[in-house]
Structure 1
């Protein structure tokens, strides 16, 4: 009788629980071993992510028989529009609810955990061949040109070479990346728990935390209802299919690191191979609805507690700017807030918005404690966009 293998979601849940237990009960020396192993895997993951984007996005666009340029524009517009709407709604909710339960003392205690992360015993310097934004741009150029030129203005040699390269990356993902994701997640939660981050937000600002999480869940639900309505698929089933991707993002805190699992979720949603290989890696880098919800809510909270003026008129330009700037941020946990730092002056003002100042330090600390949930919202929305784009392609573009 064949043994039943443990699924990815149970493994991820076990990794999260073990990480919390390790951080809570094991000595720092042993926790640093786990963090070191997780850090080594993270370094390799950062090296693979740009290659993954080049392989998957290029082949996803190249395999589109018609309308590659149209689908690219549609996908980018959907992702950017979703990010803008999510950030605007986040401000409206936060400005209405947060004044009733915010306090400066709470933020000071949260900020105290900012520099408590465990250090690895050693690390390896492995620089990616491309940065994330360069990988996306290269994939656009190669994919669009291959889609229109293969078999017409040029032969199929480059196409076949990219297809083989995509198969190599796929092999790496399924034999190395996915099996070791639980280790990465375990190390992340070990560090967060040992440094006090895991429980700090729950014990001090749990109301803010719950409001932000609730906004994420509502955002995901609305996105899949829209996707289900357009595609005539059951939104409940679409949300159920997304659970592995959501759980993976909770642990990795990286949209890009969740790409391999999210591709499987898109497959279960019935998204065709060429569409999912195009949309999922692309949206992992340009669709930041969850991160925008968190950043906007945290910025609103910081303003309220420090008596800084804030209004929809100052928030909208900030959201529009950040929606573009964050394209380069998904490669690592906390990437979105680090990308946002140079633009916080648009909300906090020139003095309070100094990236090296205490106000921004508090902002970073508050965001990091909720980063994983924002990332999980990001990747879930990626697949909702995938379902919509797949429907548009099948019904109106593909003939």
Structure 2
């Protein structure tokens, strides 16, 4: 039985875990106190590995960016990546305001929260977090400080020797291997979380999760079918939808099932070649996009963070939400290439509102529960956008 389960995809195993969790919670609600240990251990593992993951992956990504890249088409493609992510994050903000979501926490009520009182206080906390000691930032899971040091060290190491960059890349690969091990236990952890949550909240949790999934998927669909076509139309000066639908069909569908932008790079390169994109341009822009172009991740981080803020009754004004969109874009660029990688960056955005790491990691765990649809849709949006924007800039020039 275990061998048969091991051969199933992670998505299938998570689906099975969710179904079993609901059945156990419904038939044996008294077992929740014992089964919840699996969820607690899973959250603890996520909490332990998340700080070093953010630090190493972001540093490696920046350090290995080619210095003096002369491809003149790379800059407008990068600009489209950034603009697309910003509008994706803003779309997520408006979707969250129009259809606010709430989450079910198991221990949030035991934590005394001190939300920021004004934008000035938010900016002050942000600045103090940025200049935190790196060791302290890692120890206290100060993700904003970790991100700042990762960007700084990555930028400084761009001019280092190839041997040094190779070591950094190897360390990043090792961290990714550990992440894959942790994620592989997601079905067990989610089983415990589902049993504990459903036994406590019942069908109300199902309604909340359904609402959250609809908001996430609908926002990503809006980005793919409205925001991206508008950007492509501005660049190409013609009807963008034939190119948009072709990229969604040949890149997005594949990415939906692989749930990995990195694994979808060969598919995108082949599609770009068939679209007539310059191979030198595609060879740089598409792999880079698989690393930093994460519009779907920006949507996920923004929606789940605002859901946590709404659940905890933290007042947030529009200026702070705009700051959140910028933070979401920056953190999304450091999302891991493994399934559910963007979820581990949610604590960065939660830290902007003074939400403790313990609560933020519960948000991550909830994200893992809905990741069957969320992560697949997110990856489809991310990967199809890579080839879409690359082709738009190159074909517009031609």
State the distance in 1 between where 2:151 and 2:283 align.
Answer: 19
Map of 1:216 onto structure 2: 216
Map of 1:162 onto structure 2: 165
Q: Aligned pair 1:87/2:98, yes or no?
A: no
- CA spacing shift, 1:201–1:282, aligned 2, 3 Å: farther
- CA spacing shift, 1:11–1:159, aligned 2, 3 Å: same
State the distance in 2 between where 1:381 and 1:141 align.
Answer: 32
Name the TM-score, length of structure 2 as normaliser: 0.59
Structure 2 alignment gaps of length 5 or more: 112-136, 230-240, 273-281, 333-341
Tell which deviates more after alignment, 263-272 or 17-26.
Answer: 17-26
Shift of 1:291: 3.2
Q: Is the 8 A contact 2:138 2:146 kept in 1?
A: no
Map of 1:339 onto structure 2: 351
State the distance in 2 between where 1:10 and 1:90 align.
Answer: 31
Q: Aligned pair 1:54/2:59, yes or no?
A: yes
Shift of 1:66: 1.6
Deviations 1:12-41, CA, capped at 9 Å, x for gaps = 421553477478577866763685477447
Tell which deviates more after alignment, 62-71 or 236-245.
Answer: 62-71
Structure 1 alignment gaps of length 5 or more: 99-106, 118-124, 147-156, 247-260, 343-354
Shift of 1:53: 2.4
Q: Aligned pair 1:75/2:76, yes or no?
A: no
Q: Aligned pair 1:134/2:149, yes or no?
A: yes
Tell which deviates more after alignment, 51-60 or 201-210.
Answer: 201-210
State the distance in 1 between where 2:296 and 2:217 align.
Answer: 20
Deviations 1:161-193, CA, capped at 9 Å, x for gaps = 4246425634663x554355211x135314422
> CA-atom RMSD, angstroms?
5.1
Q: Which of residues 302, 323, 326 in structure 1 aligns to 2:325?
A: 323
Shift of 1:158: 2.1
Deviations 1:63-97, CA, capped at 9 Å, x for gaps = 954245554443222211211123224423x27xx
Shift of 1:367: 6.1
Map of 2:292 onto structure 1: 282
- Secondary structure (helix, strand or coil) at the match of 1:195 reads helix
Map of 1:371 onto structure 2: 367
Map of 1:264 onto structure 2: 263
How many equivalent residue pairs? 322
- CA spacing shift, 1:276–1:131, aligned 2, 3 Å: farther
State the distance in 2 between where 1:204 and 1:365 align.
Answer: 21
1:1-399 equivalences in 2 (<5 Å): 10-15=9-14, 17-18=16-17, 21=20, 24=25, 32=37, 36=41, 39-40=44-45, 43-44=48-49, 46-62=51-67, 64-67=69-72, 69-92=75-98, 94=99, 110=104, 114=108, 131-140=146-155, 158-159=161-162, 161-163=164-166, 165-167=168-170, 169-170=172-173, 173=176, 176-178=178-180, 180-183=182-185, 185-196=186-197, 203-204=203-204, 206-225=206-225, 226=228, 229-230=242-243, 233-244=246-257, 246=259, 261-270=260-269, 272=282, 274-283=284-293, 288-296=298-306, 316-326=318-328, 327=330, 332=344, 334-335=346-347, 338-342=350-354, 371-372=367-368, 373=370, 376=375, 379-392=379-392, 394-395=394-395
Deviations 1:352-389, CA, capped at 9 Å, x for gaps = xxx79xxxx9x989967853448636555433442334
Q: Is the 8 A contact 1:267 1:276 kept in 2?
A: no
Q: Is the 8 A contact 2:96 2:303 kept in 1?
A: yes
Shift of 1:236: 3.1
- CA spacing shift, 1:84–1:40, aligned 2, 3 Å: closer
State the distance in 1 between where 2:255 and 2:110 align.
Answer: 33
Q: Is the 8 A contact 2:36 2:193 kept in 1?
A: no
Q: Is the 8 A contact 1:53 1:135 kept in 2?
A: yes
Map of 1:255 onto structure 2: none
Name the TM-score, length of structure 1 as normaliser: 0.59
Q: Is the 8 A contact 2:89 2:299 kept in 1?
A: yes
- Secondary structure (helix, strand or coil) at the match of 1:263 reads coil
